[in-house]
A and B are shown apart, each in its own frame.
Chain A
């Protein structure tokens, strides 16, 4: 593996982690959607680079899915939903931006420590890719925990899933990557956009998850 290949892969995977951090501190929904589109774009580039480096043409399919579906279709749909619901105001975060960023840094450090230590024998590129991917996954989880709003939770989930696709693409010759990314896209498209948001919109004045909790308390 020559230096350039490695550096570019490194740059793109690191860029994805950076985008995850950017997602963490967005406090407006429309900005959050824009950053997510960038997140997906960086993922598409990272996967395409892996396809080129590994000479694995099927990964190009995954890259195209990431680009077309997650960087273009989903953000457009989300923007429509946000506009229709009239919730392009501020996001309430359960945790402030400062603590969230600090927790994020801690999580990245944790994933570096865990992954780099256990993968000493693995291929150098795959190794760092996995460490970055775990960081993205954990940051996505953090975002899902710190946000109360349904749309931002979904975005958190999608960024988490981007980390998984990065890991799958980085694992050399892993089979079924395309199938898995399609399955994820189906999961997102089907449930999130189609069913849930519309149903929640249909029944609730707000799609704030806290509103859901209120109904529960009234009952139990």
Chain B
């Protein structure tokens, strides 16, 4: 499918870029919100077409079986979030929390963020990927601070400092990979092209690759939110607009994880280099257990679900660190399910915070009485994210645990422990949020329920019946990951 020499890869990049330019100029939030949604839908359509037809591999851009999973998932969540964003933003404008100028900025930045994330995913070049992830960081920093409250600025500042240190370390790692590649591949552009590196990595200097990977893991790991580099994540989730929390958890963490996975594949192809798995396993377990305990002390609802994201990124990093077809499959499935569930939860939480005019857990009680749809959606979302059947996260967590038991029973113990700790915390909080004496704030909402119901519906459907076509695809990708 090529139009005017542009293929689907160009489409997933050009649509957001053009939309950002248009949205930056357009006044009036209603029209902007529609254009935002339309652009996200068009991007999603272009992303889906990548499943069926692959454009040729270039020195800068390429799509392979691994990245297409991330792109389609990202474009889908990007689209549903833009739907949610439209109704969320309408409320923010009515209550005067966002001015028209900031809103224009918000919409433009939303599309720039989509552009950055898509560019990172379709890049065939270490440098391009780095620049793209930096761009995505920059836009989210600006969006986290958009309310300009003390807390929002603090969150954005912290995110900026930690995020920049992260991307700086990642760049040093990238340079080291190039230095390792240069004697084998030769000078110039080829030394940074993924597809070239993958074929020749076996001859690279393993010591340099090891050091490079440590920098890359620390750098991109900061963006994944792995402990102990997670400090920015709860603040950024809690203080920014809720659509951004949904995009951060559902997409940006995945994009950073994608970068880590790419480098993991690179190292795995060089037999003399250190095995990247144990590092990922350790960081994953630390994040999981740490976040599980932190969940108990949270008083802010968005902050709580941010810690839940750290917990789940820990599980995913753990699964990919274990490696092997089964654990990788479980990791991919868990990543997909977590993206869908967590962004769905943030859609729900966004509306809840608007009707209760507070994010404090203490101010939100008895939702199922006052707002049945929101309340029960939250119940569904929390049960899903806690890993109860019949939701899809149960399936993926079950797979992670069983595959670990089969190979490293000792590692399964902390894994199960961490999951149970988090499970307890989430159910404990859910009790007060959804049931009991309702708190004040019974105003109706003009919420759009479609995005959250679609997300939870998909997660439920995946838990009950996972289509064989997708199973086959995920198995294929899991084998690629090694």
> Chain A: residues with CB nearer than 8 A to chain B?
114-115, 117-122, 126, 130, 133-134, 137, 141, 144, 150, 153, 157, 160-161, 164, 167-168, 171-176, 179-180, 183, 186-187, 190-191, 195-196, 199-200, 202-204, 209, 212-213, 215-216, 219-220
Contacts and interface: CB of A to CB of B under 8 A. Distances in A.
Contacts of A179: 127, 131
Given A118-B205, A173-B188, A174-B178, 13 more contacts: A119-B207, A122-B208, A130-B179, A157-B161, A171-B182, A179-B127, A190-B138, A199-B145, A199-B153, A203-B150, A203-B153, A212-B150, A220-B300
Contacts of A167: 172, 175
Q: Which of A137, A191, A202, A220 has the most C-beta atoms of chain B within 10 angstroms of its own C-beta?
A: A191
Interface string B185-214: 001110110000000000001011011000
B148 A199 contact: yes
16 contacts: A130-B176, A130-B179, A157-B161, A160-B168, A164-B171, A171-B175, A173-B182, A175-B192, A183-B135, A187-B138, A195-B145, A196-B145, A196-B160, A199-B148, A202-B148, A219-B151
A216 B154 contact: yes
Given A167-B175, A173-B191, A141 B165 contact: yes
B45 interface: no
B68 interface: no
B211 A114 contact: yes
A121 B183 contact: yes
B161 A175 contact: no
Shortest beta-carbon contacts, A-B, top 6: A173-B187, A176-B127, A118-B207, A212-B154, A215-B150, A175-B189
Contacts of B446: none
Given A118-B211, A157-B161, A215-B151, A175 B183 contact: no
Given A117-B207, A175-B188, A176-B127, A187 B153 contact: no
Contact of B172 (A118, A126, A134, A216): A134
Contacts of A119: 179, 205, 207-208
B48 interface: no
B141 interface: yes
Contacts of A199: 145, 148, 153
B177 to A, nearest CB: 10
Interface of B is mostly: helix
A213 B205 CA distance: 45
B164 interface: yes
A37 to B, nearest CB: 20
Given A119-B208, A122-B183, A167-B172, A176 B154 contact: no
A126 B145 CA distance: 40
A180 B176 contact: no
A215 B151 CA distance: 7
A172 B208 contact: no
Q: Which of B168, B192, B300 has the most C-beta atoms of chain A within 10 angstroms of its own C-beta?
A: B168
A88 B377 CA distance: 54
A133 B300 CA distance: 42
A126 B157 contact: no
Contact of A157 (B127, B164, B211): B164
B315 to A, nearest CB: 26
A74 to B, nearest CB: 15
Interface string B133-149: 01100100110010011
B366 to A, nearest CB: 24
A168 B192 CA distance: 12
B131 A183 contact: yes
Interface string B37-77: 00000000000000000000000000000000000000000
A97 B235 CA distance: 31
Contacts of B131: 176, 179-180, 183
Nearest to A122: B179
A161 B168 contact: yes
Interface in B419-457: none
Nearest to A219: B151
Contacts of B182: 122, 171-174
B130 interface: yes
